[in-house]
Amino acid sequence: MAKKEHIVSYTAEELRAMQARGESKSDWARAAAMTDAELEASIAADPDEAGLVADWSKASVEMPQPKAVLNMRVDRDVLEFFRREGRGYQTKINAVLRSYVEQMTHHKSR
């Protein structure tokens, strides 16, 4: 893949605003009008995709396990820390707990 000289990140809101102002470099109408064969040919002609073969034969769908509802007491400062992190703070708390469980399970299995 060609080295990128300048990588820029945008939020979804910034991208919508850019598209509304006509700053998008993508021709979405042209892309939507392309046939599957034209899309495949366009992808094959892209140097970043050269030699890439996607093998989906062993792909599997992993459904997330349902979450358990929990009412627990935590220190206020701990909760506020995660809340300051923004949306998804409960998911982050779960990730921290999962990491702890994995580390303890790995440590005990030695």
pLDDT per residue as tens digits for the range 87-109? 999 999 999 999 999 999 987 77
Whether pLDDT at 3 is above 70: no
Burial of 48 (0-12, 13-18, 19+ CB in 10 A): exposed
Convert the pLDDT of each residue in 8-49 to its tens digit.
888 889 988 988 888 877 787 888 899 999 988 888 888 888
103's tokens? 């580390």
Q: What is the pLDDT of residue 49?
A: 82
pTM: 0.43
